[in-house]
Amino acid sequence: MTGANPPGAGILDRSRIRLGRARRTVGAAGPQLAGAGRMLSPGAASAALTFDDGPDPVWTALVLDLLGELGVPATFFLVGQRARAHPDIVRRMLDEGHGIGSHSASHPDPAAMPVRELVDDYRRGRWMVESVAGVEVRLFRPPTGRIDLAHAPAIRASGLRPWLWSLDTEDWREGTTTEQILASVSPGDGDVVLLHDGLQPAGSPEAHSRAATVAAVPVLVERYRRAGLSLVLLPDASSAPARPRAGVLQ
């Protein structure tokens, strides 16, 4: 696993970021210092669907089935503990041309954990995903999208390449309907859409259900296609076929 710093600052033109009713109110300074991306390069007529908190043996499998039928790739940010519990799903993602990134080892609350412990959890999360996927994984999304100024230097020094989002569908909220998810998305060039194929922590059985998200996926794909936008992987997403990799945490 390389320790090289990620590329320079990500795409942070806040005038183009459409966060809507976003749940996170974190300033720009931390993400900028960490080199976090939020949107794809403008003018490429593309957008990206991203899924957090998986893999889940039921919901992720359904999302993958749909994406396969629709012929579109997506980027999945994996919780390390879940990746190691469901390695077959991780390998399926790669085999079917999707991208992966890490989403911490245990999905802690970044606001409630000391910086050293938090960054250690992020590093372990990367190692866990790599040990399953058999590829280097630099792409990273912090739990809740929070990057404080105190976290940013350690994230860069760890060689992680953080990516946030420009559109939050709020499918993480208990009781969110498919109609509400769809109402939160008006396709635009460069969009990075936040969805969830799992939920961590899961909470009630109702909160854990990703049925509304699964039902929204084909409609979102059709909307982006009608807008003339291609759905692509995030830059730096690991998408090579899974293969044995020595020297990674087992």
Q: Which residues are identified as catalytic?
A: 52, 196
Q: What is the C-alpha to C-alpha distance for residues 193 and 238, in angstroms, rounded to an integer?
A: 18
List Cβ neighbours of 245 (8 Å cut-off, separation of 6 or more).
130, 131, 134, 135
Helix axes 87-95, 115-133, angle to 10 degrees: 70
Q: What is the 3-state secondary structure (H, E, C) of 50-115?
A: EEEEECCCCHHHHHHHHHHHHCCCCEEEECHHHHHHCHHHHHHHHHCCCEEEECCCCCCCHHHCCH
Q: What is the C-alpha to C-alpha distance for residues 91 and 229, in angstroms, rounded to an integer?
A: 28
Query: Which amino acid is located at 38 in the chain?
Result: R
CA 23 to chain centre: 16
Contact in structure between 78 and 54 (CB atoms under 8 Å): yes
Q: What is the C-alpha to C-alpha distance for residues 28 and 49, in angstroms, rounded to an integer?
A: 22
